[in-house]
Amino acid sequence: MVPKFYKLSNGFKIPSIALGTYDIPRSQTVEIVYEGIKCGYRHFDTAVLYGNEKEVGDGITKWLNEDPENHKREEIFYTTKLWNSQNGYKKAKAAIQQCLNEVSSLKYIDLLLIHSPLEGPKLRLETWRAMQEAVDEGLVKSIGVSNYGKKHIDELLNWPELKYKPVVNQIEISPWIMRQELADYCKSKGLVVEAFAPLCHGYKMTNPDLLKVCKEVDHNPGQVLIRWSLQHGYLPLPKTKTVKRLEGNLAAYEFELSDEQMKILDHPDAYEPTDWECTDAP
Ligand SMILES: NC(=O)c1ccc[n+]([C@@H]2O[C@H](COP(=O)([O-])OP(=O)(O)OC[C@H]3O[C@@H](n4cnc5c(N)ncnc54)[C@H](OP(=O)(O)O)[C@@H]3O)[C@@H](O)[C@H]2O)c1
């Protein structure tokens, strides 16, 4: 059994699969998010960079307004991320307010991440100060990091002004980029590991090891990759802009991979990022 929710270190619950929304065209985002909620997604991952925060919020709001008695805001978990150019105290303060303005009917942001460590130590920590204030002001419930390496996590955890610890680190993880050491370190410090690009952007769908396991468990490659992530204790963020794939990807909750099948999928020595790499940034 894998849990449908994880508990964050600050006590909030977070649904263990999120719908990724990178690269979903704005014109399709409202529908995909709304259809996603109807088939069971409760967690949505966007970012200032993706340009679709408003549409993600509109999709959620469409569902909330449809049946206000039964569709409650607290059931939904909304994540967004500050972009690199918004790092620094003043810029981050303004950007957080703007993030909330984009989804004003949601009233608050469940989780706000710093998208990457690329802007350097001074701006990273200044940004964190603004993010901590956003928690105190009630704009944001939880704060976390993305693409952080061990060094960046230590920098933050050892910062004398730390008031709220990061609750997640969102990094690329798949069987071909396992980052076992970093993932274990995050968990040891109480951070939930969110796995981005859990479907390897679609590049590995015909990999023989993957297809062997798919045949054994009678599930498709997307479902097996999502399940692999869950069984490692991660929070995968599969993205699709295809309505008919939404429900299928959630079926990752419904079957199990044996230890042997997990081992067939694990490629601990592979290093095949499909996206940017900045966990080693200065
Ligand atoms: N923090 C960061 O720096 C960062 C970086 C990258 C991504 N992310 C987050 O992580 C999410 C996921 O990553 P990603 O979007 O880059 O890649 P991904 O989820 O690994 O892969 C998405 C691709 O897989 C396809 N797909 C979806 N379900 C499938 C299925 N069942 N069978 C076959 N193909 C399937 C999608 O096609 P269709 O859409 O055409 O169906 C799309 O081309 C993003 O959307 C974003 O929220 C964060």
For ligand 1, whether the C-beta of 113 sits within 6 Å is no
Q: Does 167 score more than 90 pLDDT?
A: yes
Cβ-based neighbours of 69, under 8 Å, separated by 6 or more = none
CA dihedral 123, 125, 126, 127 (to 10 degrees): 80
pLDDT confidence of residue 157: 98
Q: How many domains does the chain have?
A: 1
For ligand 1, whether the C-beta of 200 sits within 6 Å is yes
Q: What percent of the chain has pLDDT over 90?
A: 100
For residue 247, is it within any domain?
no
For residue 217, is it within any domain?
no
pLDDT category at 175 given cuts 50, 70, 90 is: very high
For residue 253, is it within any domain?
no
For residue 129, is it within any domain?
yes
Average pLDDT over residues 225-238: 98
Find how far residue 85's CA is from the centre of its chain: 20
For residue 208, is it within any domain?
no
As a whole number of angstroms, the distance between CA 143 and CA 128 comes to 9
From 56, 237, 243, the mutation candidate for ligand 1 (largest count of ligand atoms within 8 A of CB) is 237
Gap from CA of 79 to ligand 1 centroid (Å): 16
For residue 83, is it within any domain?
yes
pLDDT confidence of residue 1: 86
For residue 183, is it within any domain?
yes
User: How confident is the model over 26-77, as pLDDT tens digits?
Assistant: 999 999 999 999 999 999 999 999 999 999 999 999 999 999 999 999 999 9
Cβ-based neighbours of 140, under 8 Å, separated by 6 or more = 96, 108, 109, 110, 111, 112, 131, 134
List residues bridging with 168 in a β-sheet: 192
Average pLDDT over residues 175-204: 98
Helix (H) or strand (E) holding 193: strand 192-196
From 199, 228, 275, 279, the mutation candidate for ligand 1 (largest count of ligand atoms within 8 A of CB) is 199
Q: Which two tokens stand for residue 63?
A: 């569902």
As a whole number of angstroms, the distance between CA 59 and CA 45 comes to 13
Please tell me whether residue 104 adopts helix, strand or coil conformation. Answer: helix
Q: How far is CA 171 from CA 104, 161, 237, in A?
A: 28, 25, 10
What 155-158 contacts at long range (C-beta under 8 Å, 24+ apart), as own/partner pairs, is 155/121, 155/124, 155/125, 156/124, 156/125, 156/128, 157/189
pLDDT confidence of residue 86: 98
Helix (H) or strand (E) holding 26: helix 26-38
User: How confident is the model over 115-131, as pLDDT tens digits?
Assistant: 999 999 999 999 999 99
Residue 51 belongs to what domain range?
8-200+234-241
CA dihedral 146, 11, 231, 268 (to 10 degrees): 40
CB 167 within 8 A of CB 191: yes
CATH code of residue 157:
3.20.20.100
Q: What percent of the chain has pLDDT over 70?
A: 100
Is 152 a known ligand-binding residue? Answer: no
Residue 50 annotated to the active site: yes
Q: How far is CA 114 from CA 8, 95, 139, 202, 218, in A?
A: 17, 11, 15, 26, 38
Report the nearest-CA residue for atom 30 of ligand 1. 222
For ligand 1, whether the C-beta of 201 sits within 6 Å is yes
List residues bridging with 169 in a β-sheet: 145, 193
For ligand 1, whether the C-beta of 197 sits within 6 Å is yes
Mean pLDDT of the chain: 98
Q: Does 189 score more than 90 pLDDT?
A: yes
For residue 275, is it within any domain?
no
Catalytic residue (choose from 6, 50, 78, 234): 50
